[in-house]
Structure 1
């Protein structure tokens, strides 16, 4: 019985964290606020009941805001349901074909670069709501200050994001501040079946990007959450299927896409959750709120939610992790900065793909390290002899000027076809020229 009380308390904490974030992500994505809560409900109740992960919580994520806003701008909000539905079905397929663990085989520098880029876009995109008027800026700054200071109080079990939103919303209402506020429609109007007549190659391509990015973010979150608790580990393929089922339902409802979200998941663990009941109940509380009290959302100033998202974007930026990576490995740091910079300058897909290519090139360069040592007897090779080091190898062989040459290959861990052929050709030419060549280790 004790663990069920723990799950009940944790579910309330997660609900209080999720509510303003669901609304904020929806507004930042350019869709009605209530659609963000619908995604939170599906992520809590549906995904929460499915096997895969025990502790991580799903819902609309700040990391997808850039993608959703871009998709809505290009294809219209009417196409969002088709895109999310397609992404969900692809995720289910990826999970059933046991591709879940492959999403973990991505360079950490690319992951951090992707998060940093999304964070920067999120911050820059929300600043416009804060600088429109002095009152909006004051409310935004006060929201951030309250969020930061609240975490140092004994009452931090209550989420700081909720305290900041409630206090600043109350101040705006009491003083009748002339600021823009959240507009809320009705579920009967905004929740609708997807329009398949909008399906085209652009929509299909966007759905594939949604599926890959949402899957990667969910798998990264699972790996991080598993390190926070001692309970059952995530079963990645099943979790990917669960995420796909959730996104399929969100697509059918025309709502936002979902991922597993590290902020809500961390709140769930730290609040003492024991089973998946906590994440299911948090979805129930969201459902009751959107059905019974949707009018409360219209009291929230846009600047307050913008401040919440600026804070979330700043946390995604992770300056400490960026600085640490740059100090330990300049090449990895370059990949991170390149990925983040291109996401800001172009779009999420371009930045991530280029970052992945840069990481692959960097890895290929690292694993092809070859030491070519000229000895009194000839030459000794150590390391991995690949085509990337072929010019250096040929230069060393061209400098050998002895009648008897001893080539020591015992320290070579890998010899690819290009280097192997080059060595064979050099040996044949040397022997035809009258030299004696002794090969060691081959």
Structure 2
């Protein structure tokens, strides 16, 4: 007896299971998208205001980050949008080039990111010293905190770092003597206390994110009491778009503008890919494809540039909220972008109840997290040299700007590593007639003073044997120094024998 089987498409037997799994994933992704939307909304607005651009442009970047970047391959759980870490860079760029050039610079940075991703440079960012990254974040956090204390105190934020420090006494006077200053301090404290206390209630009751609760409480308090505080002004998204003009594209060839494009591209890429490493550790799903993620980020920034919006990165706060809320696929981040778009189109008037002091408090909270005080303290206890690089990077960012500070940190990290790697041990044995010198480790120019000092202090003998065969590396500077020293000793009637490493 023969049994005849019907042919069926591959995977047809698994179709019910796949459909059931997709429905389950959709439920998780829908819930996660709402959580991320509630976290992203006040941050998009706050970062835009702190950067000195209309609030609508921050939401545009959030929408592009959700819908455009969210649909592209690279990362599954990362959520992109305007980042607090770029606030300082955007503000300085606006001061130097003006709002009209922002779109061109962001567009150029996006194109450069795409080129870096296609060239396979994405994975290289993992080679940057963690102390430089931590110093960069700490420096950004310090600048963010230093700038946002002024809106709380009822004053305009100074543009220069020196002025921000110099006007602190004036800020304190304003904060405690003027109606706007006192009201701003009260609202900021209420916002921060609400966020802190919200984290201490049972997790099951925390259906709404703490930042949104803090903003809501502050908005209601301001509205009920009639506090004299400036609030957000949100208009039409289409009217707020800042598309580059032909004149702006014509000015893009200047070295200053190109330098800003490179700075935006490198900082945004580094922040994105460092965030990817952290987010990948939080979930068991597909891990980030670094080069593909860099192309996706570049595409998003290219679109933001064409619209004249803020630059974007993958943001660790929103990404963490996405993972913790139970997201399963990239659908959650796409939906969060759709919710942002629908909210600002249908309910823009709601944002006008939020005082600017509340947004400043949110950014101070974000800056404090970037500062990472506990991690810095731990690093000081465990590795002083790494802590030095961190403090140098952060200090230079505060004193100069983000690019100079980061480059200074990178150079310091390279020098520190080169110094630590080039360890050299010089062993000397001698009597009245003979001497023997053995070198171990790496003889590089960084250790040249140590090597010459030990050789010069060697007492005169009839013969000297210098053994260099155990060296792992002998650079040209040290090789020439040893040869020159040997020639000098031979002129003093000392027989010098050099045993060089293989190949010398």
Indicate the residue corresponding to 2:380 in structure 1: 326
Conservation of the 8 A alpha-carbon contact between 2:486 and 2:496: no
Please provide the CA RMSD for this pair. 1.5
Q: Does 1:423 align with 2:482?
A: yes
Aligned partner (choices 190, 197, 200) of residue 152 of structure 1 = 200
Aligned partner (choices 29, 36, 42) of residue 64 of structure 2 = 42
Superposed, 1:28-177 pairs within 5 Å as 28-132=50-154, 133-154=181-202, 155-177=205-227
Query: Displacement, 1:97?
Result: 0.8
**CA distance in 2: counterparts of 1:277 and 1:33, whole angstroms:** 26
Cα deviation code 1:213-249 (max 9, x no counterpart): 1111111111111111111111111100000000000
Query: Displacement, 1:360?
Result: 1.4
Counterpart secondary structure, 1:210:
helix
Query: Displacement, 1:361?
Result: 1.4
**CA distance in 1: counterparts of 2:353 and 2:364, whole angstroms:** 20
Counterpart secondary structure, 2:470:
strand
Indicate the residue corresponding to 2:368 in structure 1: 314
Counterpart secondary structure, 1:382:
strand
Aligned partner (choices 454, 457, 466) of residue 396 of structure 1 = 454
Conservation of the 8 A alpha-carbon contact between 2:36 and 2:336: yes
Range 351-360 or range 52-61, more displaced? 351-360
Larger Rg: 2
Compared CA separation, residues 436 and 103, structure 1 to 2 (3 A): closer
Conservation of the 8 A alpha-carbon contact between 1:81 and 1:195: no
**CA distance in 2: counterparts of 1:404 and 1:203, whole angstroms:** 64
Conservation of the 8 A alpha-carbon contact between 2:153 and 2:184: yes
Conservation of the 8 A alpha-carbon contact between 1:217 and 1:260: yes
Range 179-188 or range 48-57, more displaced? 179-188
Range 61-70 or range 406-415, more displaced? 406-415
Q: Does 1:187 align with 2:237?
A: yes
Q: Does 1:385 align with 2:385?
A: no
**CA distance in 1: counterparts of 2:386 and 2:494, whole angstroms:** 48
Counterpart secondary structure, 2:466:
strand
Indicate the residue corresponding to 1:411 in structure 2: 470
Indicate the residue corresponding to 1:17 in structure 2: 39
Query: Displacement, 1:290?
Result: 1.2
Query: Displacement, 1:301?
Result: 0.3
**CA distance in 2: counterparts of 1:370 and 1:255, whole angstroms:** 53
Conservation of the 8 A alpha-carbon contact between 2:463 and 2:494: no
Conservation of the 8 A alpha-carbon contact between 1:382 and 1:412: yes
Aligned partner (choices 370, 373, 380) of residue 427 of structure 2 = 373
Cα deviation code 1:273-316 (max 9, x no counterpart): 11111111111111111111111111100001110000000110
Conservation of the 8 A alpha-carbon contact between 2:464 and 2:494: no
**CA distance in 1: counterparts of 2:307 and 2:201, whole angstroms:** 40
Cα deviation code 1:318-358 (max 9, x no counterpart): 11111111112212111111111111111111111111111
Aligned partner (choices 277, 300, 304) of residue 358 of structure 2 = 304
**CA distance in 2: counterparts of 1:93 and 1:241, whole angstroms:** 8
Runs of at least 5 residues in structure 2 that lack an aligned partner in the other structure: 1-22, 155-180
Indicate the residue corresponding to 1:342 in structure 2: 396
Q: Does 1:205 align with 2:265?
A: no
Range 236-245 or range 108-117, more displaced? 108-117
**CA distance in 1: counterparts of 2:453 and 2:150, whole angstroms:** 58
**CA distance in 2: counterparts of 1:438 and 1:343, whole angstroms:** 49
Query: Displacement, 1:438?
Result: 5.7
Matched pairs, number: 442
Runs (4+) of structure 1 exceeding 6 A deviation are: none
**CA distance in 1: counterparts of 2:440 and 2:246, whole angstroms:** 59
Counterpart secondary structure, 1:406:
strand
Aligned partner (choices 240, 250, 258) of residue 312 of structure 2 = 258
Cα deviation code 1:68-121 (max 9, x no counterpart): 111112211111111111111111111111111112221111111111111011
Conservation of the 8 A alpha-carbon contact between 1:58 and 1:258: yes
**CA distance in 2: counterparts of 1:391 and 1:72, whole angstroms:** 48
Conservation of the 8 A alpha-carbon contact between 1:383 and 1:412: yes
**CA distance in 2: counterparts of 1:70 and 1:431, whole angstroms:** 62
Conservation of the 8 A alpha-carbon contact between 1:406 and 1:440: no
